[in-house]
Amino acid sequence: MDKKSWFLIISGLTVSVLLICGGLFALTAWVFSSVEGDSTFNFSDAVAIVHVEGVIVAGDPPPASPFGGGSSGTAYSGKIIKQLKKADEDSNVKAVILYVDSPGGSVYASEEIYRQIKKMSKPIIAAMGSMAASGGYYVSAPTQEIWASPSSLTCSIGVISQFLNFERFAEEYGVTAVTIKSGKFKDTGSPFREFNEEDKKLWQDIIDETYTEFVRIVAEGRKMKEEDVRKVADGRVCTGNQAKAMGLVDQLGYLPQAIERAAELGKIEGEPRIVEYADEPTIWEALGLSTAQRSPVAELQNIIHYHPGSPLMYLYVGP
């Protein structure tokens, strides 16, 4: 047998071993992820923790792969809503913590999460991590209580839309954009033309309407007058200490203290069991070989918080 044949045989065996090992690893991970958070195996009273971490966007994360990729740094509304529903339906879960560490994000996605929180039949409190600003505060507002550390960055109550303009850049490099449109506003926001005063007026009206709804949500959740909310809802970011002084946070503390409080609200005696819902990919997804990585364009969009199709943002855009 020649060297080439031996090489092909050895290569084939190596790939087969890797596939088998990877498959066993994926199967094990899938089984354990399915068990995690499943009260079938433990009937003690529990506090469920649902995470809202990263920029809030609409929809579900891409299929999980044990070989790379994933949705780190992104809070998908679809996933969060499913986990909230699961916690509400689990008879062993007596209270829920919404753990928020997010600068906010899509207005639409934040509203989706808000609506699910309003439907919850069990006690639910928000516990803020290092940041729960703008949309991060929006989803916290309807909970029964808001906990923040003294140094948590929060507030940033407001709405923002940002449009990139490449007109001068395009001219410098001889790039021409041809636009065929049905009305003067159809290309509003196009990066290839200037944002004029009429465009600004159009979008300012949209921003003002969305801002009014944000103020209403905060006033309703915090049991404050809307005029009092507007006094601090100028987009400013604030610390947990400052937010508590303004009536936007109930208690200062960290996740362990929030868990104790949630257990108290859920009437749990003794130390509560903690349930944290893991992603539950199908067996075929778990066995997938995809190593999907974001493209450079997607990475740039994430850095500048630019998400096509959702320019209306409850987002803190600071450092």
| 165: Cβ contacts below 8 Å, ≥ 6 apart | 191, 193, 194, 195
The question of whether 134 is a catalytic residue gets the answer yes
| 241: Cβ contacts below 8 Å, ≥ 6 apart | 150, 151, 252
Phi/psi-derived region of residue 55, left when phi > 0, alpha when psi is between -120 and 50, beta in every other case: beta
On whether the CB atoms of residues 19 and 247 are closer than 8 A, the answer is no
Helices (H) and strands (E) in the chain, counts: 11, 12
Q: Give dist(CA 235, CA 269) in Å, integer.
A: 41
Token pair, residue 271, equals 């130390």
Q: Which of 181, 186, 200, 225 is catalytic?
A: 186
Q: Which of 134, 140, 149, 152 is catalytic?
A: 134
294 three-state secondary structure: coil
Residue 125 bridge partners (DSSP): 97, 145
On whether the CB atoms of residues 84 and 120 are closer than 8 A, the answer is yes
Token pair, residue 37, equals 């958070």
Token pair, residue 247, equals 């009536």
| 288: Cβ contacts below 8 Å, ≥ 6 apart | 63, 65, 67
On whether the CB atoms of residues 45 and 94 are closer than 8 A, the answer is yes
Q: Give dist(CA 202, CA 301) in Å, integer.
A: 24
Closest by CA to 139, choosing from 118, 160, 158, is 118
Residue 36 bridge partners (DSSP): none
The question of whether 186 is a catalytic residue gets the answer yes
Residues recognised as catalytic: 134, 186
